[in-house]
Each structure stands twice: as C-alpha cells, then as structure tokens.
Amino acid sequence: MSQLQIIRIPVLSDNYVWLAHEPTQSLTAVIDPAVSDAPLSESEKRGWTITHILNTHHHGDHVGGNQEIKARTGCTIVGPRADRNRIPGIDIEVGDGDTYDLGTATAEVFDVPGHTRGHIAYWFADSDALFCGDTLFILGCGRMFEGTADQMWTSLGKLRALPDSANIYCAHEYTQANARFALTVDPGNADLTTRVAEIDRMRAAGEPTVPGKLGVEKRTNPFLRADDAVIAATVGLAGESPVEVFAEVRHRKDMFRG
Ligand code: ZN
Ligand code: FE
C-alpha cells in the first residue's frame, strides 16, 4: 500500500482537477481532466509524468482533456463501464465492486448513478481519498440530469457508508452556494450554522473548501440527511420516506436562487 500525494488544480470557472501521485512506482493519475494544459504543466513542474486518467463521468468538464493528455503521454484511461461509449479514449472499464490498482494504491469503485447514468466514484481507502466527481459536493450533491431521486439517494448512501475520515475530492467549488441553500432546509442545525460561517470566512480569504471530511458532511449536508426527521418536517414531509424527502430537497435546490 502507499499513500497518494494529491494535488488540487483549479480550472475553468469552478472545476477542480486532481492529480494523485503514487510514489512507490512513480505513477500519476489525473482525475477528471476538464482541460489538458493545466494538469500537464502541473505534473511536469513536479517531475511527474501522467500515466493514468481516471474519469468519473462523461461530461465535457470532466473528460475534455482526455485525448490531448493521452496523445502527449500515452497514459491509460480508466472510466465507467456503463458509459464506455461516452468516455473519449477509454482503455479500461470499471464498475461497481471492482478494484483498480494504481500501482500499490488500490481504488474501490462504486456505481453512483443519478447525475449521469454511468457515474462512478473511486475510493482509495489507504489514502482516505474519495474521488466522487459530481455526485457528492461539499454541502451539496449533483443535479440529476440522467437519473432518479431513488438512484441518487442510493448512490449517496454508498458514499455515506464510508468512514468519517474520508476526504471528499469532488470536482467543483460550489460550497458557498450550497451552504446558502442548506440553511433553508436545516436552519436549526448548529453544526451547519457554524460551518457556514467558516466557509464564508474561507471564501472571503480566497481559500478552497475542497477537500472536506465526510464525517462533517454527514452532520451538515442536507442531501446526506434526507432520513433526518427534522429536515423531513421542515420541507413539509414529516413521516415520508427518505427518497421522497430527498426528491423534495433536490427539487428545492434546483429552484433556489440564493
Ligand atoms: Zn457533471
Ligand atoms: Fe462537472
């Protein structure tokens, strides 16, 4: 086993591309390269060569750099089996229950459909690192473009089952807008109120809020808390199923203009 060195690369307006370097065999994966230039130059600067691309889903702001990086480095592209036809240059298809070895660092793969039908997440347990693309965000979750509330709630449940110490390497800095919304459906949550103040301070100082810790998300992210009776009551669905509550919270977020 070896610990990944993980580097955040902000690109476009609010995307995070991640470099994960495996030091034992000197492998470097780029997770969801929205673009090619920034991850190529960042890895070069560190004396690393990109050997792998790990894609979570097919959206352009996650695969946009695939072909150029592959042409320049000859890297191997790993992506969701369920969406293999929409991942440019895919070499290796993975899905739920598979493991993928980045050298001595092993990722468990989860199918997490909802945002897209073929979305996957990579969990590197030895590094406490979860690469979840646009499924789980800090205080939020992805929009359901290709899936149902039932699917998305099930997908988030797989991620919620991971340890509190998991670091969430999601693909966007949406935290402050998510925080504004979270307060509307969980206003009495003291952990949330405290956290929003901290997030506002960080953003005012120009600091990233990603990665975050899963343990904190479990206490404050309303999309992981649709089975909480207080949230159900707040959205007028006391006693209804978590899926109903989740669907309502997601719908309200879609309509929310903070
Ligand atoms: Zn997306
Ligand atoms: Fe995205």
Average the pLDDT over 68-78 and give the result: 98
CB 120 within 8 A of CB 31: no
The residues that bridge with 9 in the sheet, in sequence order, are: 17
Helix 175-185 and helix 190-204: axis angle, to 10°? 160
Percentage, residues of the chain above pLDDT 90: 98
Average pLDDT over residues 154-177: 98
Going from the Cα of 143 to the center of ligand 1, the distance in angstroms, rounded, reads: 8
In this structure, the number of other CB atoms found within 10 A of the CB of residue 257 comes to: 5
The C-alpha atoms of residue 81 and residue 94 are separated, in whole angstroms, by 5
Tell me the pairing of strands 52-54 and 27-31.
parallel
**pLDDT of 214-256, one tens digit each?**
999 999 999 999 999 999 999 999 999 999 999 999 999 999 9
**pTM (2 decimals)?**
0.98
Q: Is the pLDDT reported for residue 173 higher than 70?
A: yes
Residue range 158-167: mean pLDDT, rounded: 98
Give the residue numbers marked as catalytic: 57, 59, 61-62, 115, 134, 172
Per-residue model confidence (pLDDT) at position 166:
98
> What pLDDT shows up at residue 88?
98
Cα–Cα distance for residue pair 157/202, rounded to 1 Å: 28
pLDDT at position 2 over 90: no
In the block, residue with structure tokens 């089952």:
161
Q: How far apart are CA 117 and CA 150, in angstroms?
A: 12
Mean pLDDT computed over every residue of the chain = 98
By DSSP bridging, strand 92-94 and strand 99-102 are: unpaired
> Cα(59) to centroid of ligand 1, in Å?
5
Residues with CB under 5 A from ligand 1 (ion): 59, 134
- pLDDT at residue number 82: 97
**CA dist., res. 19 & res. 241, Å (int):** 39
pLDDT for res 1: 64
For residue 236, report the distance from its CA to the centre of ligand 2, in Å. 31
Dihedral sign of CA atoms 63, 68, 70, 72 in order: negative
Mean pLDDT over 102-119 rounds to: 98
Angle 94-95-98 from CA coordinates, rounded to 5°: 80
Average pLDDT rounded to a whole number, residues 135-162 = 98
| pLDDT reported for residue 258 | 75
**Cα gap 206→209, rounded to integer Å:** 10
